[in-house]
Structure 1
């Protein structure tokens, strides 16, 4: 049975370190085992020995595919647990997925908590997911996402585990009823939907969770360590392979090393001599031309036109005063000055001929150019301008010069 009391000691120590530090807190979700920021996995990995007190724990220093490829254990019949807690398994190739599926089918177990599972993996285990907050990435947006989780096992109680931030509404949508057991749920739209399942595969099983954020330092420091410990307690008592998932596979077909050009040259005697002679010739050329034959003629910079810079500076002064009309006038003056200097076009008469000439020289669409100039003419005639008109003009001018 997993213990979680020891986590509190590390949590208190880390909390002291965080408050004592003067550095700005990093609220990005990184799930790194050595990262002590709120959403790193430092505490859960440090306390793994207390969570699994009787089991050997191996933190993988290589890709799991490569580890299994050269895994020569004395007792091949011994079963093990695989643990992966990350945002997504982006280092896992198709070969790696196949190898993991084979690993579990032989009687091993795998605990995987991810925000996003790859399609090959979902197809093999016959499940789909629905992440209603997959497009929320900003720290401010994620902070608003709260969650309420339940565990089916009555030993863990009937009260919900409540989480106050970064809880995506991510759950299992479809799954095979014949080989899947729902172990935990989350509340989405007033309805309990599965976010923690057990999928039987061959002789082993996968334990899958859609909210890896519950294992991070933030929740280990906020009294939610019991929930994380309860989840991991489903794993059988056997050796743990903890995947830090920081390296790509060296042997997967998707990560084959490209052959070296120099190695190809050195494989052929004639090409080897050609390479050496070329390098020697290059060195001699650099040696005899190290000193310039003529002193460099200094470049005399042309006088700068400071009108544009001055206009921009004055325009920015009006931004603080919220004098939108003056700011619009300055933006227009800046635009027309740039047209005169960049395209050498007279801006005294903004007629049809001017619009056609400007569109042709700038490479912009005639219709968009016409719309921009008509907007400028309209705003020039107004005595007052709104903030929306100012923003619209600014965006049109920016897009015009991006062409």
Structure 2
């Protein structure tokens, strides 16, 4: 059935690469490369002709308000997204109860919430966590495999957007590794099952594998194999995570401080009197007052600060040659103004006159001038050479 969507890929190519949306949106109604249109519409076939319901409310509200956890009918819950952004903190205990009673939860996320990690005792590591741009994601290629060798095909090569994301720690007593990803030549877990009560959590770190692009690019078997771990012929709750929890927000509103004041007559009058008093205070203090005379600070000599800023900029950029040239120019200018010497020709006669007028040893003066001549001819200078020159000039001038 997935092959019937192949014309979509051809249509994307005909429309033009410049207009193709390569953002990872994971939306069930999106036919863009990284939408979930195909996987959702084929879910009934992949899950053994089970009835698939697209949730119109937050999963927490659905579980609590509809008392799904207490229902005798067990279900599958599926969500394929970048992360569970819309999950409130309160959903984790509900998930645990939901699974403990025989239901199953399938989550394919790039990132899992810390509350879920803590509750199920696992941790993850994403070596490409800071890769966001489309051009950089396109270069991320890799191989995903299943542990179950009974599958007709258990190894799949993905040509883009495959982050090096894997499970780092987990409880081996309750966890089974179902799939792996190759990272630096080593196979590490990316798909696990965590047994909990009568049900299980199925956690996959590569939702990109279930998107339109990969299902039309020969990877539909991977999605079919992954979802085959869910029990067949069960009703499936498919979560697009389109809304935040209204029930949790309502609970937060119940704790609103103003609502608490308004529910008590005494506190309500106190609130009204305080507001009226504040308005009267503002009204009687709104008369015109003389503006304070601003203090005009005298202009500051910022030459030293500016010089320090420029020097720090060159140090930060590690442009040592530029700083060396400026140190030499500074020294020669000092020689011209203080000792009235011509610096156009740094010969022996110049060295003798400089040593005599500055009161420095002839050998020390000669060594400094030769160092300046040598560094002037270099194309690049090291940090150490800059430091040595600085110390020599400072010592000479003192």
* 1:200 equivalent in alignment to 2:195: yes
Aligned to 2:130: 135
Is 2:191 the partner of 1:209? no
Tell me, yes or no, if the aligned pair for 2:47 and 2:227 is still in contact at 8 Å. Answer: no
Of residues 222, 236, 240, the one that matches 1:240 is 236
| Separation in structure 2 between the aligned mates of residue 153 and residue 168 of structure 1, nearest angstrom | 22
DSSP 3-state at the match of 1:101: helix
Mapping of residues 222-261 of structure 1, within 5 Å: 222-237=217-232, 238-252=234-248, 256-257=252-253
1:64-118 Cα distance to aligned partner (Å, 9 max, x none): 0011111156992110000011111111121012211211111100111111111
For residue 264 of structure 1, report the CA deviation from its aligned partner.
8.6
Change (3 A) 1:147 1:372: closer
Which consecutive segments of 4 or more residues in structure 1 shift more than 4 A?
Answer: 72-75, 257-268, 343-346, 369-379
Of the three residues 347, 350, 355, the one matched with 2:303 is 355
| Structure-2 change in CA distance of 1:199 and 1:373 (3 Å) | closer
CA distance in 1, matches of 2:159, 2:146: 18
* DSSP 3-state at the match of 1:26: coil
Could you tell me which residue of structure 2 aligns to residue 154 of structure 1?
149
> What's the TM-score, normalizing by structure 1?
0.64
In 2, the alpha carbon distance for the partners of 1:35 and 1:218 equals 11
Q: Distance in 1 between matches of 2:155 and 2:298?
A: 70
Shift in CA distance, 239/20, structure 1 to aligned 2, threshold 3 Å: same
Matches of 1:120 and 1:263, distance apart in 2: 30
Aligned 1:42-53 pairs, distance under 5 A:
42-53=37-48
Given that 1:96 and 1:252 are in contact with CA atoms closer than 8 Å, whether structure 2 keeps it comes out as no
| Structure-2 separation of matches of 1:344 and 1:17 | 66
- Residue number in structure 2 paired with 1:125: 120
Distance 2:311 2:12 in 1: 60
Mapping of 1:379-398 within 5 angstroms? none
Aligned partner of 1:183 among 162, 178, 187: 178
Q: For residue 157 of structure 1, report the CA deviation from its aligned partner.
A: 4.0
- Which digits, 9 at most, give the CA deviation of each residue in 1:128-174, with x for residues without a partner? 11111111111111111111111122221465211011111111111
Aligned to 1:321: none
Superposed displacement of residue 42, structure 1: 1.3
CA contact (8 A) 1:32 1:41 kept: yes
CA distance in structure 1 between the partners assigned to 2:129 and 2:250 by the alignment: 26
Across the two proteins, how many residue pairs are aligned to each other?
303
Distance 1:266 1:50, change over 3 A: same
> Which residue number in structure 1 is paired with residue 32 of structure 2?
37
Deviation at 1:7, TM superposition (A): 1.0
How far the C-alpha of 1:13 sits from its partner, in A, is: 3.5
Change (3 A) 1:260 1:185: same
Asked if residue 64 in structure 1 is aligned to residue 5 in structure 2, the reply is: no
8 Å CA contact 2:47, 2:230 repeated in 1: no
Equivalent residue of 1:33, what SS? coil
Asked whether the equivalents of residues 15 and 221 of structure 1 are also in contact (C-alpha less than 8 Å), the reply is no
In structure 2, runs of 5+ residues without a counterpart are: 277-296, 316-321, 330-378, 380-398
In structure 2, relative to structure 1, the CA distance for the partners of 1:22 and 1:158 (3 Å cut) is closer
Equivalence for 1:368: 309
Name 2:382's counterpart in structure 1.
Answer: none
Partners of 1:354 and 1:149 in 2: CA distance: 61
The corresponding residue for 2:168 is 173
Aligned partners of 2:81, 2:54: CA distance in 1, in Å?
14
C-alpha displacement of 1:355: 1.2
Matches of 2:250 and 2:129 in 1, distance apart? 26
In the TM superposition, residue 24 of structure 1 has moved relative to its aligned partner by: 1.3
Distance in 2 between residues matched to 1:198 and 1:74, nearest whole Å: 20
Q: 1:250 to 1:373 in 2, by over 3 A?
A: same
Secondary structure of 2:6's aligned partner: helix
Tell me how far apart the structure 2 counterparts of residues 230 and 81 of structure 1 sit (CA, whole Å). 16
> Alpha-carbon deviation of 1:224?
0.6
| Higher Cα Rg, which structure | 2
Distance 2:151 2:49 in 1: 22
Contact 1:26 1:38 in 2 (8 A): yes
Kindly tell me: are residues 18 and 264 of structure 1, through their superposed partners in 2, closer, same or farther at Cα, counting changes over 3 Å?
farther
